[in-house]
Structure 1
Amino acid sequence: MMSTGGLITLCAALLPTADQPPVTTPRDPAREAAERELSKPLYHQDDPGLFQRALDRFWDWVGDLFDHASGATPGGTLGLVAIAALVVLAVAALWWRLGSPRRTATGPATLFDDTLRSAADHRAAADAHAAAGRWTEAVQERMRAIVRSLEERTLLDPRPGRTADEAAAEASVPLPDHAEALRTAARAFDDVTYGGRPADAGMYARLRALDLTLTRTKPLLTGPQA
């Protein structure tokens, strides 16, 4: 059995001396060993999830963008805040002046404005717009000419605020053979006026033909029979 002194002598012989350099591991194998060790799940139990990492990257990007913007703006961060406030005020002023987009008309509005013109006036305006290729305005004026003509012939009672659809429905009573054509004309007026549909020469030609036909059509007289 080895004595204590012998054991000490053996351990001392195994230890590196000043003349013997310590055993070292090459750099690449050491790095690979460290990477393998750090890749173990034990070291990643508290790492943030994928969503958290993406969120952190996003906020880092926003922070960098804000820093660059504040550095390029006179006055730094305070100047950037002032510019942002001015933009907000400008948008609010436009919103108040123009109104919310939800207030845009989505249904038919009145057929005529406050200016009282004859059917002949509307026909002349329609032909002038058509000659200039302004088909939307030409269709609008021709529909107004149709309705005004029916009012002048007392087939429709003059009524402020009447829509194209209402005029077509009311005119279908004394002019039943042209009810469908009147409804089509009213839809065309609404489409180009409120629906954003572009008018064309064919659409205008149909309304013009309807207008001329109605002027020659004898209405169906209704009322109490004797």
Structure 2
Amino acid sequence: MVSLLISLLDPVDIGRGEARRAAIQELLKSEYAKESLVDRVTRTVNQFLDDLLDQASVGVAGSVVARAVLIAIVIAMIVAVVMIALRATRGGTARQTGIFGEHRRTASEHREAAERLAAESRWAEAIRERLRAVARDLEDRVIVDSAPGRTAGELAAEAGRALPGLAAELVTAARVFDDVTYGEVPGTAEAYGILRDLDDRLRTARPTFGQDTRAVPS
């Protein structure tokens, strides 16, 4: 594939028929026998670019325009790949550390940090700290097991089984946490309010293990 791109970008003026034959020979190699989705998309883009060069037959000016368009497309593709890779790396690193990250704090410390961040309108960070307060409080009250590396979704599922009356709110809170932590969704005061209200309700809720009733406030 690299050699194909080089042949298209090479400023040396070779015949279009020769370039097409070289591209076809490249694609017939055994490495293309079992293409992934990415490979098929790349091949389709290459074909489009090849057609673009074929159509740019109005002398030197047409060739220059075609080559400029090709370079712009390749650069855009490279930028997109790099951005996706960086996002995947950030997301993978964050998921490995679970909800809490690397530092252990008490539920009260997480709540204080959340309120301080909220006062500064740092909503995404405040949301993360508030869910950590929820998780630590549930662990301290033995409503959920202490599990290093647990995700927000796993916390919501386990806590929801013990507190069915708040299961839906727990799922919503986990989704908000994941959105601002991994999905790069901006935090908002309204989203933080969801976490804060849930935390307040959970602190007075009693588990109903093995029962089919709603959580009962103390």
TM-score, scaled relative to structure 1: 0.56
CA distance in 2: counterparts of 1:133 and 1:102, whole angstroms: 24
User: How do residues 101-116 of structure 1 correspond to structure 2 at under 5 angstroms?
Assistant: 101=86, 103-105=88-90, 109=95, 110-116=98-104
Structure ID, larger Rg: 1
Offset of residue 103 of structure 1: 3.6
The answer for unaligned runs of 5 or more in structure 1 is 1-49, 64-90
**2:180 maps to what in 1?**
192
Distance 1:60 1:180, change over 3 A: closer
Q: Secondary structure at the match of 2:162?
A: coil
Q: Could you tell me the percent identity over the aligned residues?
A: 42
CA RMSD across the alignment: 3.0
Offset of residue 60 of structure 1: 5.8
Offset of residue 173 of structure 1: 1.1
Distance 1:188 1:60, change over 3 A: closer
CA distance in 2: counterparts of 1:60 and 1:157, whole angstroms: 65
Greater share of residues in helix: 2
CA distance in 2: counterparts of 1:191 and 1:222, whole angstroms: 32
CA distance in 1: counterparts of 2:57 and 2:84, whole angstroms: 41
CA distance in 1: counterparts of 2:180 and 2:56, whole angstroms: 51
CA distance in 2: counterparts of 1:99 and 1:184, whole angstroms: 26
CA distance in 2: counterparts of 1:99 and 1:191, whole angstroms: 16
The answer for unaligned runs of 5 or more in structure 2 is 1-53, 68-77, 212-218
CA distance in 2: counterparts of 1:212 and 1:112, whole angstroms: 19
Letter matched to residue 119 of structure 1 = A
User: How do residues 1-226 of structure 1 correspond to structure 2 at under 5 angstroms?
Assistant: 51=55, 53-54=57-58, 56-59=60-63, 100-101=85-86, 103-105=88-90, 109=95, 110-222=98-210
Contact kept in structure 1, 2:161 and 2:209, CA below 8 Å: no
**1:39 maps to what in 2?**
none
Distance 1:103 1:192, change over 3 A: closer
Distance 1:59 1:125, change over 3 A: same
CA distance in 2: counterparts of 1:61 and 1:205, whole angstroms: 54
Count of residue pairs the alignment pairs up:
142
**1:29 maps to what in 2?**
none
CA distance in 2: counterparts of 1:145 and 1:171, whole angstroms: 14
CA distance in 2: counterparts of 1:152 and 1:101, whole angstroms: 36
Offset of residue 206 of structure 1: 1.6
